[in-house]
Structure 1
């Protein structure tokens, strides 16, 4: 075997997505090179997925009630959201997209602060430096190159930290994504690119985005090892992401992981998904529900019983109730915050605009 062939083989993903658990919750032959995560990590993942799904349903309801301006649901993607967080340490950084609210909740962020962006308040309701979670990114793929810059900064500072950048399949069609891969490979930066391929970029199906056999193959051209995984199999996603993070942390450089999953709900509450996908397709993916699959698997191994399931759902209901109560309170809005943090020294134009707003508000009060 030539050196060139050996190098390419080291970059190639598995020919089929890595899987530990079938759709019906039964174990399958474990793939070589990956270990089943510890029992307690799997139980924690289950609890987080239960809370995450209930949070997602609550956020969707709040949108219908007018308490949120918009909400991009991640129902059906909970295995990806939770596994991505559990694969990281507290000192690692996460760069999320607008669809990753469940991941931020699993990370331990205040859910109301997570929803601040989607409520129409500040662009970011939490402190990125304190939480080591970047602001949720709405422009596609721009966060990926930011993640590489952060990873390189952490490496130069001598921190034993890894950066994970979440991205959707639509984002892989953006130039920033390809620039980020190239930049990360050249710098040998400790960053993991985690692609949640939910099959649609709003209404555009994957077949109209890429002709690659899988998005995981996009790492090869940049010299980045890659893997593809069944994104609805929490056990597999956690195993693969843990290996990718370990690779980055120990000097192996960047890694690309593609998770094959599905967005069960519309793109956002403003979208009519029935215009571009058939109900039969949605029903087929319903049978691959990641939460039901994990619960069946854990019950089959004797790690989960009816009492534990009931307890997890009770915690989730209490969590949702607290979110609902806090979100039903009207936020205190200061219109002059429009001018804060734009420039260290306000420009003459900003001062003029602020004065105009003050005059209009005074006139309204009179």
Structure 2
């Protein structure tokens, strides 16, 4: 839906010094400007050659108009001003955006995504075209990005915003400044954007697609595979590989279900030493044994039946998938420590006294108290 927003309209009216009724002219223009909004909206629909979802930002537009106000009533003046202003805007928008006075964004998602990038890099608050977000300037960078995406933007376009960030190569730039809690809030809002589809069925084809895009997702295991940031990375990489047609809510829900099952499972795999036994237990449905070894509550591993179902009880297939996503661990061989041997020599303990003897300057002391010079030399050699 097209929308035209004018934040500030400044009308400067000049009349001849000898005009008999300048106050009447002012009142007439005030009345005309008061009804300009509706007239301009109707005129814009005829004059403005813009896409319905595009966002244009115009910093300043000057319109000079000379007229004989005595020939128009307020309604006629409305029509004239609206048409002339719409025509001036249309002329300006037919020219390539200069990046200074006129900026163009393909849609609201691109506009919000660009704000998020500039906010993450510390450039947002110096740019005039982000005035709609000015109320967020007192927040931290992470909070401002969260609010811009979750509250300021329409929740339905959050997936498109994430897609814009991925397409522009800015996903990591944004994730670096987001806290885990704010990343989680954005991710959950994106899941809500899937509508009533709160869960989805996962197939082996979906899992193999996860394997194919894994290297492009830049998953960071040190953050925990199931962290909100890693779920964001995987989801953004998946959206980046979709066709020009946006995925349906059901497809979005299925992918979120996939991430909600397999990323926590990778954390489980990384935390158990005997990976081979773990995968065999998952494929065989021996969940009680897994819970005992993992020392995690049952509700934290409610995804295990889904993993078994997708693997169809095949531990070999499961091992191939897991080995492509995370390094496997094998139980370390236990070996007996080698026995140590202690060797001793006669008077070996005297070597421990050498630092003390040096500190006490015993050679000098003995030399001064020796009964003879020969005895002093013998004592020094002995020490």
Would you call these one fold, judging by a TM-score over 0.5? no
Name the structure with the higher strand share. Answer: 1
Scaled by the length of structure 1, what TM-score is found?
A: 0.22
Higher RCO (CA-CA < 8 Å; seq separation 6+): 1
- Computing the radius of gyration over CA atoms, which structure comes out larger, 1 or 2? 2
Name the structure with the higher helix share. Answer: 2
